Each structure stands twice: as structure tokens, then as C-alpha cells.
Amino acid sequence: MTHPTGLRAAKKLDTWRALRAAAIELVAARGFDDVSVEEIAAAARVSKSTLFNYFPSKEALLLDPDPEDPDRWRALAAARPHDEPLWVSVREIVVGAVCDDESKLLTRKAMIEQCQAPLEPALAASEPFRRFLGECVTRRLPDEPMLAALVVNSTFAVAHTAYRAWRPDDGAARFEELLRRGFDTLGAGLMSVADAR
């Protein structure tokens, strides 16, 4: 007997989330370096090979975007008014995408600081959102590929700068404040060119 596609997708999402939850719980309790993928798989009640069907590495367990994130990103983008200045739209999409889940934000920051994770896995994990944002900006600036790239790259510079300046003990609201301040500071100059087009 075959399962309906919707049920199969729901079961896959449940497994993905069980693995993510197990990884977060174990890493929060013992630290990134002291938790093995075998332990994470066992805590999620799946095999190690099943874990690797969902995540290519231990870092990915904590850093990869949720499978439903692209739908959330599209909803955030669709909610922005068409006549809104581009930089304001980008800021609100990024703030909505990054600040929606305080526990995920705190766990990622702690994991990166605990294990001094190399930048490459974090950058790879943000690539789907970078592509999504690039498509949004390109739709607004179809004849300005260099300016569109500058907007996206500047967006990530703001986000990374705010993230590095933020201390988790200050809470997620402080991170959002830093993020907004970075966008507003940069937007006061650079984006006057984009918004005039």
C-alpha cells in the first residue's frame, strides 16, 4: 500500500524536525564537540544513515534552514507594499526571516561560539535565503544587475555585522535592534540611489 504524497511529506518533515530538535537539545546540554551524530540519531529514534539522508553534516543539523522556510520567505516578501522603498522591504523581509524564532537564533549563536565553527557551513546554510532575496531584489531592479547584487551583498554585510556584535545574553530583541540599526545606517546613504530608480 502506498502512502499519499501529503502524508509522506509530513512524515519526512516530522523526521527532519525530530533530528533538529535532538541536535539542539544535546548540543545545548553538552556542547557541539561533545555530541556525535550517532547520539543525535539515537535521540531522534532513527539510524545514522537516515540522519545523513536529511543532513550532510553535524553543522547542517543546526544551521540548515527549515524546509518550510521558503514558504515563509515568500509570504514575507508578498506582504511588502509594491510602492515601498526597496531597502525598507529588504529590511523587513530579513528581520522577519531571521528574528521569528528566538530559540533557533540563540542556539545557532551559542553553537557557533562554542565550537568556533568555521564560517563556511554558516554561509552555506544561508545560501538558500541569499538566492531568494536576490530574486526579490532583481525583480525590483531588473535592469540594474550590479545594483541588485550590491543590495543583496550589503544586506548580508549588515546581518553578519549585527550578528557578530550581538551577545545572546542580551536577548533576541537586542539582535533585532542591532539589525534594524545597521539597515537604517547603511540605508541612509547607499540605498538613496536604488530607491530613486
pLDDT digits (tens, 9 = 90+) for 102-156: 777 777 777 667 655 555 666 677 889 999 999 999 999 999 999 999 999 999 9
pLDDT value at residue 87: 92
3 state SS for the chain = CCCCHHHHHHHHHHHHHHHHHHHHHHHHHHCHHHCCHHHHHHHCCCCHHHHHHHCCCHHHHHHCCCCCHHHHHHHHHHCCCCCCCHHHHHHHHHHHHHCCCHHHHHHHHHHHHHHCCCHHHHHHHHHHHHHHHHHHHHHHCCCCHHHHHHHHHHHHHHHHHHHHHCCHHHCHHHHHHHHHHHHHHHHCCCHHHHHCC
Residue among 176, 56, 153 at smallest CA distance from 106 = 176
> How many angstroms separate the CA atoms of 186 and 180, rounded?
10
The per-residue pLDDT string of the chain (197 residues; one tens digit each, 9 = 90 and over) reads 444 568 888 899 999 999 999 998 898 888 888 899 999 999 999 999 999 999 998 888 888 888 999 999 999 999 999 999 999 999 999 999 988 877 777 777 776 676 555 556 666 778 899 999 999 999 999 999 999 999 999 999 999 899 889 988 888 899 999 999 999 989 887 555 555 55
